[in-house]
Structure formats: structure tokens, C-alpha cells
Amino acid sequence: MKYLIKYSIDFTVLVFLYAFVFFRKWRLQGKDILLVNTLMYAYLSFVLLFTMMPVIASIPSILDHPYKPMNLAPFIDVFLGRGDFFRQVVLNVIMTLPFGFLFPLTRDKKAKFGATVFFCFLMSLGIELLQPFFDRSSDITDLITNVIGGVLGYGLYVIFKPITFWVLERLKAR
């Protein structure tokens, strides 16, 4: 019950932020922009859920424990056979697939491969650097596999670009 309350505070803030800031702005830009940006917002909210939440409830104790630096030995768990490394690698790739697909759509069809990968890297690096503040581990393998997921997501964006733009054009016409 205690954790449910902590998470609900973060979700309440995210819902209010969406409803009173982003929704109002995006709605005026058209249904296509509203849809894409809302999907990206929901996606980023879930990333926050799985990587750092609860955030607001953790702020008072954020500096009460030592900062554990990022593990900088890539794929050490794989090589040493520690933990469920295969599952972790696959989940990290899957986690950023939507970013690679949605980011170019939020950039008004102007995002190139390099920009998508760069911002995927920045998002992942930010998460990995902040996780120790929330008493979570940080690993270079996560950063690498997240970027691979972003690259694969961009590949899906390229493959499905004609269909995606057709759907968005139909929304815009309504």
C-alpha cells in the first residue's frame, strides 16, 4: 500500500502535467500532432515508471545513501553468467524501440537517424546517471542495449513510414 501511494503521487503529477500543459498545446496543433506527442508522452511516462519511480516521494531521501557509480564493464554479467542477463538485455532493447520509432514522428518528419540515436543515447545516459540517486543500479550494458533498441526502432520507423504517414495524413484531414 505504501508503494502504491508513492507511485500514485508521480502518476498524478504526470496526468496533471499532461492535461494542463501539454494536451492544451498539442490539441491546437492538430489531431496528428496530438496523437504522436501523446503516444511519446505515455511511452516516456512508462520508461520513468520502470527505471526511476517513485521520484517525488524519493526526493527527501535522495542523498541519504552513497552514489554507486555506473558499472563500466560492458556485458560483464553476460560473460560471468550472473543473473538473468539475457532477459535484461532483451528488455533494455525492447524498452527503447518505441523511442526510435516515435522520436522522428515528434520532430515533424525532420529527424534523421543520427539525431534519433543521439537523443536515445542522451535519454538512456540520463536515466543511467540518475538511477543511483533512486537506489537503483546503473550499467553501461543498459546504455548500449538501449541505444541498440533506439536504432532498431528507427529501422521500424523507416519500414513503416509510408503507412504511418498515411494514417497521420488521414487524421490531419479530419
DSSP secondary structure letter of residue 63: T
Give the residue from 99, 114, 97 showing the smallest Cα distance to 36. Answer: 99
Q: What is the pTM of this model?
A: 0.91
- Residue 170 grid cell: 488521414
In the 8-state DSSP scheme, what is residue 29? T
pLDDT number for residue 109: 65
pLDDT in tens, 56-92: 888 888 888 888 888 899 998 888 888 788 899 999 9
Q: Which amino acid is at 120?
A: C
pLDDT in tens, 105-150: 998 767 799 999 999 999 999 999 999 988 888 999 999 999 999 9
Amino acid at 131: Q
Report whether 96 contacts 153 (CB < 8 A): yes
The pLDDT value given to residue 16 = 97
In this predicted model, what pLDDT tens digit does every residue of 5-42 receive, in sequence order? 889 999 999 999 999 999 999 999 999 999 999 999 99
Q: pLDDT-derived band of residue 173, with 50, 70 and 90 as boundaries? A: confident
pLDDT of residue 90: 94
Exposed/middle/buried for 82, CB within 10 Å: 0-12, 13-18, 19+? exposed
Q: Which residue stretches of the chain are H helix?
A: 2-17, 23-27, 31-51, 76-80, 85-106, 113-130, 140-173
Separation between Cα atoms, residue 53 and residue 49, nearest integer Å: 5
| pLDDT number for residue 145 | 97
Which positions ≥6 away from 30 have C-beta within 8 Å? 171, 172
